Amino acid sequence: MAKQTRKKRKHIPQRTCVGCRTVQPKRSMTRLVRTTEGVQIDLTGKFAGRGAYLHDLRSCWEAGLKGPLARALKTEISAEDHDRLTAFIESLTEETESTIEM
C-alpha cells in the first residue's frame, strides 16, 4: 500500500479583542503592552510584557479605553498614556464592526 501524504495545516494563533470581544487571527489586530514606561503600542508584536489586543477600528479602541484595556493589562492607564492612545485613535478608520470578519 502506498503511504498517503497529508499536508499539515499551519496553526494560526487566535486572540480576543478587548474592545468588542471578537476572536480573530492575531495578525489582524494591534497589540498593546504594559511596560515599565507605561502602555505602549506594539506594532511588531514582539515587545516583552503583558499584552492585550484591539482591532484597528475606532469603535474597538474607544470601548477598550473605557476600562477593559486596563483590566486586561492589569494596570492603571495614566493620563499621558491615555492621551497617546487617544491620538492613535484619530489615525484609525471609522468603519463599523460589521466589517470585521466573523
CA 15/CA 17 separation, integer angstroms: 7
Write out pLDDT tens, residues 17-50.
999 999 999 999 999 999 999 999 999 988 999 9
State pLDDT tens for residues 41-64. Answer: 999 988 999 999 999 999 999 999
Domain residues of the chain, as ranges? 14-95
- Does the domain at residues 14-95 carry the CATH identifier 3.30.1230.10? yes
pTM above 0.85, yes or no: no
User: Closest Cα to residue 11, out of 22, 27, 29?
Assistant: 27
Half-sphere exposure (CA, 13 Å, Cβ side) for 77?
A: 21
